[in-house]
Amino acid sequence: MRTKMVAGNWKMNKTLQEGVALATELKETVKNPSCAVVIGTPFIHLATVSELLKGSPIKVAAENCADKDKGAFTGEVSAAMVKSTGAEYVILGHSERRAYYHEDYAILREKVRLALDNGLKPIFCIGEVKEEREAGKQNEIVKAQLEGSVFNLTAEEWNNITLAYEPVWAIGTGLTATPEQAQEMHAYIRSLVAEKYGKQAAEDTTILYGGSCNEKNAAELFANEDVDGGLIGGAALIGEKFRAIIAAR
Ligand code: PGA
């Protein structure tokens, strides 16, 4: 049985105090979720929020980690450092990192490798931009993203991977993929995982949907067989909305 999950991605939002306030609220109100719950926070929040959430079912994710092990890389944060905060997950391959910070397949392959070597579980994001969808190239794009950065993993390593399908045209735009579009792509992604790692591994792989998923459309998206949960941006910044999405899963 694969894990159902609702994960938040705070992006570059919330001061430390604001983040602590939201994490505290979630700790007090999310006690017995029917799915795994993860919050992705900025680096500077990780240690405090991880400590605060001890004993809570809510797990913590970093939103990035370096593609280098350690050393003279001013301003970077390594996978080992993330792990040392108590965080268990790391979001990698987010389209904002790919687009604004030029993270290509090779860089992401390194980040995934370092995350796994340091005991972190990657939430690996894939998805096409608007022009690619309009040209009918979405399948070929997500396939290339998987082959470029994660299909080099061993079967054993694969067990630690959560995928997130995030059509870039749906992120932060209010343009959610329809439940049919999400299901179609998730089924395709699962078929690729089956070809690479076998049917059972594909059955066991958690595939989240992300892109303007909110408290109003979550239930409809999650009702699809291959949509195992969501990676939530904007709606994860408000406790009430995030809780409603968790309840929809
Ligand atoms: P959004 O972001 O929910 O604000 O569209 C999702 C994401 O980027 O992970």
Taking 90 as the threshold, does the pLDDT of residue 83 lie above it?
Answer: yes
166 lines ligand 1 (CB under 6 A): yes
Average pLDDT over residues 102-124: 98
Q: Which residue, by CA, sits nearest to atom 2 of ligand 1?
A: 233
DSSP for residue 234: G
Average pLDDT over residues 20-39: 98
Taking 90 as the threshold, does the pLDDT of residue 41 lie above it?
Answer: yes
9 lines ligand 1 (CB under 6 A): yes
Average pLDDT over residues 122-144: 97
Please give the share of the chain, as a percent, with pLDDT higher than 90: 98
pLDDT band at 195 (very low <50, low <70, confident <90, very high): very high
Residue 166: both structure tokens together: 């995030």
Taking 90 as the threshold, does the pLDDT of residue 214 lie above it?
Answer: yes
Atom number, ligand 1, closest to the C-alpha of residue 214 = 3
Q: How far is the CA of 57 from the centre of ligand 1 (A)?
A: 22
Average pLDDT over residues 1-5: 94
For residue 110, the model assigns a pLDDT of 98
DSSP for residue 209: E
Atom number, ligand 1, closest to the C-alpha of residue 236 = 3
141 lines ligand 1 (CB under 6 A): no
Asked if 17 and 42 touch (Cβ cutoff 8 Å), the reply is no
Could you read off the pLDDT of 156-192 as tens digits, one per residue?
999 999 999 999 999 989 889 999 999 999 999 999 9
Rounded mean pLDDT of the chain? 97
Instruction: Please state the pTM of the whole predicted model.
Output: 0.98
Taking 90 as the threshold, does the pLDDT of residue 1 lie above it?
Answer: no
For residue 3, the model assigns a pLDDT of 97
Of 244, 238, 241, 246, residue with least CA distance to 13: 238
Question: For residues 47 and 238, what is the distance between their CA atoms, to the nearest angstrom?
Answer: 21
Question: For residues 159 and 85, what is the distance between their CA atoms, to the nearest angstrom?
Answer: 23
26 lines ligand 1 (CB under 6 A): no
Q: How far is the CA of 10 from the centre of ligand 1 (A)?
A: 9
Q: Which residues are catalytic?
A: 94, 166
Q: How far is the CA of 81 from the centre of ligand 1 (A)?
A: 25
Q: How far is the CA of 163 from the centre of ligand 1 (A)?
A: 14
Q: How far apart are the first and last CA of the chain?
A: 15
Residues in the chain: 249
Residue 21: both structure tokens together: 């306030």
For residue 174, the model assigns a pLDDT of 87
For residue 21, the model assigns a pLDDT of 98
Query: What is the amino acid identity at position 12?
Result: M
Average pLDDT over residues 80-86: 98
One-character DSSP codes across 141-177: HHHHHHHHHTTTS-HHHHTT-EEEE--GGGTTTS-PP
Average pLDDT over residues 28-36: 97
Q: Beta-carbon neighbour count of residue 18 at 10 Å?
A: 13
Question: For residues 64 and 81, what is the distance between their CA atoms, to the nearest angstrom?
Answer: 11
Q: Which helix (H) or strand (E) holds 126?
A: strand 121-126
Q: Which residue, by CA, sits nearest to atom 7 of ligand 1?
A: 233
DSSP for residue 205: -
